[in-house]
């Protein structure tokens, strides 16, 4: 039995286009004599389709597409079956009225063969809004070359049932336990699992546990691609009958792999990428796909000479190519000469275009216009924020006129405590590093400049030798340069102190009381907690950000603005 695994990158809602991707994979797999092809969860729709699932006309289209694929497989004599992820309509009067299902298409026909049992409704997931859980396990017997093969079929969350390996699991049955009383030759998990740091190792541990419980190999097939805030990294794999990794597919790349069941004892020599490489490749894919799927061919960035904008510019160049990235320098009277110099030298190393627009005269014009209604000159934070808003207006005007995607450069530490300006540095169509704490930004930049990043830099057509970010930027004390000699530490604790507290409060859900008992300074913890609460209204108006942690300030963060 030869199986093809298609790690596909669908466009959400493009059923016709996704069907073309699937059929092209079928044609390719057929030339390799594969018996059947696997595609990811909801592969016909792309994941997550969200409220597109409420569009009734798409279900008529879905039926026509499945009929067409079945017919084309027959007419072209491809002699291959294909598993396709669909949204299955339930014909009754109850809501939700859909199953998250897999169909098997072959011989001019198709049928539903699996329905998802565990529906995640935590963090970014909201499947119970759309789907009903299946009450039954899914098995399928395929006859190949006069041999019957019994397959166990699970969909994404159905594999996540090990309390010892997870922080929490979706309430409901244990599909793996239910399959223990139904002997199978192979377990398949069709997934659309978003990237987050350290997730690859957890997935493999879950599959190894399932392989041991069921005494059979496990195929884990995952979607790839950026869909809005979510990045799907692929990283599909096979666990053989010895509970070893027999095959591992590439991170963040669309591909097809092949596996013969008789090779189930073979072990691959490939290993998981290191965390910095995973993060860099995921962010690069997220920017590339967000731009492509939203119809942008170029990006514009405000380049200040600071580390945040340097990292975003480097990621954008890796994602889109240097010819598609425009950096705009907007020095004020408080901008240091070395910041301008550092920004220009970074742009030169990356090979991107720059424009320099000094904002000194614009600041004077605004000051003059506001002096009358205020009865005095603008001052303090309002004056400092005005610089950011002037820059944001310039960037939006250029993006609007020239059709660029404006990339926001704020980090998670700033978003958390409100150290950012609405209608200023928060302007943009996508926040690239809005889920990276400032200390993580420094770590990733150091990795990019290290020899370890050579392979990733080469893959993205970045210069492979020498520093990209540069020590001048990395070693610079963080500053927004909004007034003479201003530093971030004038308003905030050092990021090495701030970030662990933020992570504990935001991601680990620690209580302030618990942090204080653990030895953290009480006044500091309460100050940070207050800043997080006060900044909620800002975050609600921020651009979508690329999620790379277990808790990002995106669709999975649902904190009220007006609340005690």
Q: How confident is the model at residue 478 (pLDDT cuts 50, 70, 90)?
A: confident
The pair of structure tokens assigned to 361 is 């005269």
d(CA 384, CA 493): 20
Residue labelled with tokens 């963060």: 557
Question: Of residues 26, 88, 116, 547, which has the active-site annotation?
Answer: 116
Cis peptide preceding 559, ω within 30 of 0: no
Cβ contact 235:251 at 8 Å: yes
Q: How confident is the model at residue 465 (pLDDT cuts 50, 70, 90)?
A: confident
Domain borders along the chain are: 2-265, 279-487
The pair of structure tokens assigned to 329 is 């320098």
CATH class of 2-265: alpha beta
In this prediction, residues 111-136 reach a mean pLDDT of 96
Residues in CB range of 350: below 8 A, 6 or more apart: 313, 314, 317, 322, 325, 462, 463, 468
Interval 160-182: pLDDT, tens? 999 989 888 999 999 999 999 99
The pair of structure tokens assigned to 70 is 């079945």
Q: How confident is the model at residue 477 (pLDDT cuts 50, 70, 90)?
A: confident
d(CA 24, CA 280): 29
Q: How confident is the model at residue 263 (pLDDT cuts 50, 70, 90)?
A: low
Residue 420 annotated to the active site: no
CB < 8 Å & 24+ apart, contacts of 133-140: 133/172, 134/99, 137/175, 137/178, 137/179, 137/182, 138/102, 138/113, 138/114, 139/179, 139/182, 139/184, 140/104, 140/113, 140/114
d(CA 410, CA 419): 9
How, if at all, do strands 353-356 and 98-106 pair? unpaired
Question: Of residues 41, 88, 281, 414, which has the active-site annotation?
Answer: 41
| pLDDT at residue 268, as a whole number | 55
Interval 400-444: pLDDT, tens? 999 999 999 999 999 999 999 999 999 999 999 999 999 999 999
Check whether 110 has a pLDDT greater than 60: yes
Interval 297-320: pLDDT, tens? 999 999 999 999 999 999 999 999
Residue labelled with tokens 């396990």: 137
d(CA 88, CA 99): 5
Residue 440 annotated to the active site: no
Cβ contact 133:117 at 8 Å: yes
Q: How confident is the model at residue 379 (pLDDT cuts 50, 70, 90)?
A: confident
For the whole model, what pTM was predicted?
0.94
Residue labelled with tokens 């904002």: 359
Q: How confident is the model at residue 146 (pLDDT cuts 50, 70, 90)?
A: confident
Question: Residue 446 in 3-state DSSP?
Answer: helix
d(CA 340, CA 386): 20
The pair of structure tokens assigned to 272 is 């998981």
Check whether 116 has a pLDDT greater than 60: yes
What b-and-e string marks burial along 375-404, b requiring 16 or more CB atoms within 10 Å of the CB? eeebeeeebbbbbbbbbbebbbebbeeeeb
Provide the 8-state DSSP code for 244. S
Question: Of residues 26, 88, 127, 156, which has the active-site annotation?
Answer: 156
* CA trace torsion 337, 348, 282, 260 (10° rounding): -160
Which stretch of DSSP H or E encloses residue 154? strand 147-155
In this prediction, residues 38-50 reach a mean pLDDT of 98
What topology does CATH give the domain 279-487?
A: Rossmann fold (3.40.50)
| pLDDT at residue 334, as a whole number | 80
Q: What is the largest CA-CA distance in the chain?
A: 91
| pLDDT at residue 167, as a whole number | 82
In this prediction, residues 282-293 reach a mean pLDDT of 98
d(CA 321, CA 299): 10
Residue labelled with tokens 């070359």: 145
Check whether 447 has a pLDDT greater than 60: yes
Going from the C-alpha of 138 to that of each of 2, 106, 154, 238, 324, the distances in angstroms are 21, 18, 7, 19, 47
Cβ contact 502:412 at 8 Å: yes
Which stretch of DSSP H or E encloses residue 385? helix 380-402
The average confidence (pLDDT) of the chain is 93
Check whether 273 has a pLDDT greater than 80: no
Domains 2-265 and 279-487 share a fold: no
How, if at all, do strands 230-233 and 237-239 pair? unpaired
| pLDDT at residue 270, as a whole number | 59
Burial class (CB in 10 A: 0-12, 13-18, 19+), 181: exposed
Helix H, strand E, coil C: the string for 345-368 is HHHHHHCCEEEECCCHHHHHHHHH
| pLDDT at residue 489, as a whole number | 77
Check whether 45 has a pLDDT greater than 70: yes
Lowest-pLDDT range of 45-49, 126-130, 143-147, 334-338: 334-338
Residues in CB range of 468: below 8 A, 6 or more apart: 314, 346, 349, 350, 448, 449, 457, 462
- Could you tell me what percent of the chain has a pLDDT over 90? 86
The pair of structure tokens assigned to 344 is 């220009």
Q: How confident is the model at residue 339 (pLDDT cuts 50, 70, 90)?
A: confident
Residue 513 annotated to the active site: no
In this prediction, residues 371-394 reach a mean pLDDT of 91
List residues bridging with 88 in a β-sheet.
99
DSSP string computed for 26-56 = HHHHHHTT-SEEE--TTTTT-S--GGGGG-T
Interval 191-220: pLDDT, tens? 999 999 889 999 999 999 999 999 999 999
Question: Residue 550 in 3-state DSSP?
Answer: coil
């Amino acid at each position: 039995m030869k199986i093809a695994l298609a790690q596909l990158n669908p466009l959400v809602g493009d059923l016709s286009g996704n069907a073309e991707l699937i059929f092209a994979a079928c044609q390719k797999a057929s030339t390799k004599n594969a018996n059947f092809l696997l595609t990811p969860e909801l592969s016909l729709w792309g994941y997550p389709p969200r409220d597109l699932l409420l569009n009734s006309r798409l279900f008529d289209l879905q039926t026509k597409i499945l009929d067409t694929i079945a017919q084309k497989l027959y007419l072209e004599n491809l002699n291959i079956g294909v598993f396709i992820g669909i949204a299955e309509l339930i014909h009754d009067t109850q809501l939700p009225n859909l199953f998250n299902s897999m169909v098997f298409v072959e011989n001019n026909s198709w049928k539903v063969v699996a329905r998802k049992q565990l529906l995640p409704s935590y963090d970014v997931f909201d499947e119970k809004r759309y789907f009903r859980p299946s009450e039954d396990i899914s098995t399928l017997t395929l006859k190949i070359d006069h041999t019957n093969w019994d397959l166990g079929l699970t969909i994404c969350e159905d594999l996540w049932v090990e309390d010892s390996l997870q922080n929490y699991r979706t309430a409901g049955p244990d599909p793996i336990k239910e399959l223990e009383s139904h002997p199978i030759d192979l377990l398949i998990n069709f997934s659309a699992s978003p990237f987050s740091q350290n997730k690859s190792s957890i997935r493999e541990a879950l599959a190894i546990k399932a392989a041991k419980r069921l005494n059979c190999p496990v195929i884990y097939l995952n979607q790839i691609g950026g869909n809005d805030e979510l990045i799907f990294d692929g990283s599909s794999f096979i666990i053989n009958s010895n509970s070893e990794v027999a095959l591992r597919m590439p991170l963040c790349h669309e591909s097809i792999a092949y596996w013969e069941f008789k090779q189930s004892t073979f072990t691959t020599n490939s290993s998981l990428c290191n965390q910095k490489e995973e993060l860099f490749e995921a962010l690069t894919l997220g920017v590339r796909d967000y731009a492509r799927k939203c119809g942008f061919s170029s990006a514009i960035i405000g380049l200040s000479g600071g580390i945040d904008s340097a990292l975003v510019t480097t990621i954008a160049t890796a994602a889109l190519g240097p010819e598609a990235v425009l950096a705009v320098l907007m020095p004020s009277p408080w901008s240091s000469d070395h910041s301008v110099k550092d920004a220009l030298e970074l742009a030169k190393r990356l090979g991107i275009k720059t424009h320099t627009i000094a904002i000194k005269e614009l600041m004077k014009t605004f000051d003059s216009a506001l002096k009358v209604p205020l009865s005095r000159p603008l001052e303090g934070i309002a004056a400092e924020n005005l610089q950011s808003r002037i820059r944001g207006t310039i960037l939006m005007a250029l993006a609007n006129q020239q059709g660029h995607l404006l990339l926001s450069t704020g980090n998670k530490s700033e978003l958390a405590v409100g150290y950012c300006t609405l209608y200023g540095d928060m302007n943009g169509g996508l926040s690239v590093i809005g889920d990276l704490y400032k200390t993580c930004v420094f770590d990733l930049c150091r990795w990019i400049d290290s020899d370890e990043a050579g392979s990733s830099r080469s893959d993205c057509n970045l210069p492979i030798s020498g520093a990209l970010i540069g020590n001048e930027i990395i070693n610079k004390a963080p500053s927004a340069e909004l007034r003479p000699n201003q530093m971030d530490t004038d308003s905030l604790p050092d990021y090495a102190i701030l970030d662990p507290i933020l992570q504990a409060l935001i991601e680990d859900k620690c209580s302030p009381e618990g942090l204080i008992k653990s030895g953290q300074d009480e006044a500091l913890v309460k100050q940070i907690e207050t800043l997080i609460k006060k900044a909620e209204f800002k975050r609600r108006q921020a651009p979508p950000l690329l999620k790379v942690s277990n808790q990002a300030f995106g669709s999975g963060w649902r904190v009220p603005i007006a609340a005690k």
